[in-house]
Amino acid sequence: MRIMSLLLAAALCAAVPAAASPSSSKPKVVVSLPPLHSLVSRLLQGVAEPELLMDKRLDTRLVELNSRQVEALRHADLMIWSGPALEGAIAEAGMVMPDLAGRSLTLSRHVPLMSPAAEGSDQTGGPRDLRFWLDPRLAHHAVHMIAPALVRVYPEASDTILDNEIALMAELHHAEHATRAALGTAWGTPLHVGGGDLRYLEWRFNLAKSGCARGAFDPLGFNLPAGAALYGKMMDGARQALAACVGGKPERRAPSADL
């Protein structure tokens, strides 16, 4: 039924001629979810505005697209997403848009992913948690994949994109340092894996409590204004939620850097 809906939506979009505009020939970058859109927006500051595909939670599996979203995918020069296990609607759209795969950057193919099983993150096979951006180091790794893809779309702005990449890397390092300072976490091999939305944070920062701050912030960022600053604000919320429950101590605030 959803596939038929997509086919109908694509047909309707194709039947309506696009209005001519000065911007119609400009490259178009579409990003699936708010945290990834925030990182891409930061990389494209001073260059272009990427389009956010999913600006609100449609359902818990993100498995439906409306006609606007189908149209955005049809005209995207580059579509950046986490992967089919999380953004099922995009995976289904690919069934009726065979060329979409060639215009897509699927980050889960390049970023190490954690198993949702509580026993550990090194299990082979089975599902993986695609919300890797909750670990600043994995977000750092993803940015290394995204920046060259953006340069290929905007070759004339390569210097600006690469300068933005350097600045964003520094901001991600600051985000990790600030969280370690707030939680009193020593550098070293993470020891504990949780079982909820916070598992990447619990793993990266060696937390002994599992799920303590679950539900205290939105790991998909739908509750924040979209844009370059969203990722930093989302991670600030995560840090505050963890600091409030780990040992019951208030967060020791470190100087912030907007992302």
Q: What's the CA gap between 138 and 143, in Å, rounded?
A: 9
What is the three-class DSSP state of 117?
A: coil
For the chain, how many structural domains are there in total?
1
What tens-digit pLDDT sequence spans the chain (259 residues)? 444 344 434 443 443 333 333 445 789 999 999 999 999 999 999 999 999 998 775 544 456 788 899 999 999 999 999 998 888 889 888 888 989 999 999 999 998 887 655 444 444 445 677 889 988 989 999 999 999 999 999 999 999 999 999 999 999 999 998 888 888 877 764 544 444 556 787 778 877 666 677 777 888 899 899 999 999 999 998 888 888 876 654 444 444 444 4
In a domain, 138, yes or no: yes
User: Does residue 5 lie in a domain region?
Assistant: no
Residue type, 99: D
Closest by alpha carbon to 220, among 39, 56, 43? 56
**Domain limits for position 214:** 27-113+129-245
SS3 30: strand
Distance CA 227, CA 222 (A): 11
Q: Answer whether residue 2 is part of any domain.
A: no
Does 53 reside within a domain?
A: yes
Indicate whether 34 belongs to any domain.
Answer: yes
Strands (E), the chain: 29-31, 51-52, 78-81, 104-106
- Model-wide pTM > 0.85: no
For residue 252, what are its two tokens?
């020791």
In a domain, 255, yes or no: no
Q: Is 69 helix (H, G, I), strand (E, B) or coil?
A: helix
Q: How far apart are CA 181 and CA 159, in angstroms?
A: 33
The CATH number linked to 240 is: 3.40.50.1980
Q: Specify if 10 maps to a domain.
A: no
Supply the DSSP symbol for 155. G
In a domain, 21, yes or no: no
